[in-house]
Amino acid sequence: MPVTAASTTAATTLTARALLLDMDGTLVDSGPAVERVWRAWALEHGLDGDQVLQVVHGRQGFASMAILLPDRPMEQNIEENARMLVLETVDTEGVTAIGGAADFLAALSLGGLPHALVTSADDALARARMGAAGLALPPVAVTAEHVTRSKPDPEGFLLGASLLGVAPADCLVFEDSEAGVAAGLAAGMRVIGVGAATTGYGATVSVDTLDQVTVTATASGTLTLTVTP
């Protein structure tokens, strides 16, 4: 059953069979930690920190480095990314939950509703940030170790759908970054964007916080999401 959407002036209703959730910027506000680590990296390489931060959101570190330092061997990017992941994992100061994320995840878990985390972080970083934000890690999680290509490639979302046993067209993605929205759309999925900027990225519908999203399930397994303005 394809994901469908119907809009009214009061709300938007979408249906799906499973939800795929990004972490940073979608469930977890890790902005301060991301900025500290990447500004230090920018300074080390003589790059403008503001320009670096415009590139890194939503991507795995090695993919961001490849954009920012295009002449550098990928092996060096991968090695340096591993070092940065360690630094990010221990730096959880200021990491908090996005508005509505705790209640949203709790409702999905309590209702036994199919969902998975799909993040560019590795397993250790995902656990550290979700823990620092006071959020439970979903039982199904696609992290950096499980994919060979970074967002905006759809590999992670397609794997998440496969692990849940749901066709891509029946999945709904939650994302905040341009790369993440592009990955969800490339996977043939519709996207609920978290943050006003996601409208410009092509998200199906955008919200400011997850408090605006309510999920209910039918006996047939269909999930109905009501998005209020």
Side-chain half-sphere exposure of 179, counting CA atoms within 13 A: 24
pTM: 0.91
> Which residues share a beta bridge with 6?
13
Q: Which stretches does DSSP call E strand in 23-139?
A: 28-29, 96-97, 115-118
Return the pLDDT at 62: 95
Active-site residue flag, 103? no
The CA distance from 184 to 153, in Å, is: 9
> Angle at CA 92, nearest 5°, toward 90 and 97?
145
- Contact between residue 132 and residue 31 where contact means Cβ atoms under 8 Å apart: no
Report pLDDT digits (tens) over 34-68.
999 999 999 999 999 999 999 998 999 999 999 99
- Contact between residue 205 and residue 192 where contact means Cβ atoms under 8 Å apart: yes
Confidence check: pLDDT of 150 > 50: yes
Q: What is the mean pLDDT of residues 112-134?
A: 97
Active-site residue flag, 123? no
Tell me which CATH code domain 4-30+95-227 carries.
3.40.50.1000
Report pLDDT digits (tens) over 192-215.
999 999 999 999 999 999 999 999
If you average pLDDT over every residue of the chain, what do you get? 94
The CA distance from 75 to 174, in Å, is: 31
Measuring CA to CA, how many Å separate 150 from each of 65, 73, 126?
12, 17, 16
- Edge-first strand order for the sheet with 223-227 is 4-7, 12-16, 223-227, 213-217
How does residue 7 score in pLDDT terms, banded at 50, 70 and 90? very low
What are the extents of the domains in the chain?
Answer: 4-30+95-227, 31-90
- Pair of tokens at residue 53: 């931060």
Side-chain half-sphere exposure of 150, counting CA atoms within 13 A: 21
Q: Quick one: how many helices (H) and strands (E) in the chain?
A: 9, 12
Question: How many CB atoms lie under 10 A from the CB of residue 140?
Answer: 16
Check whether the bond before 152 is cis (ω within 30° of 0): yes
How does residue 9 score in pLDDT terms, banded at 50, 70 and 90? low
Question: What does R_g of the chain's alpha carbons equal in angstroms?
Answer: 17
Return the pLDDT at 10: 75
- Contact between residue 34 and residue 176 where contact means Cβ atoms under 8 Å apart: no
The CA distance from 49 to 39, in Å, is: 5
> Helix or strand or coil: residue 11?
coil
Return the pLDDT at 118: 98
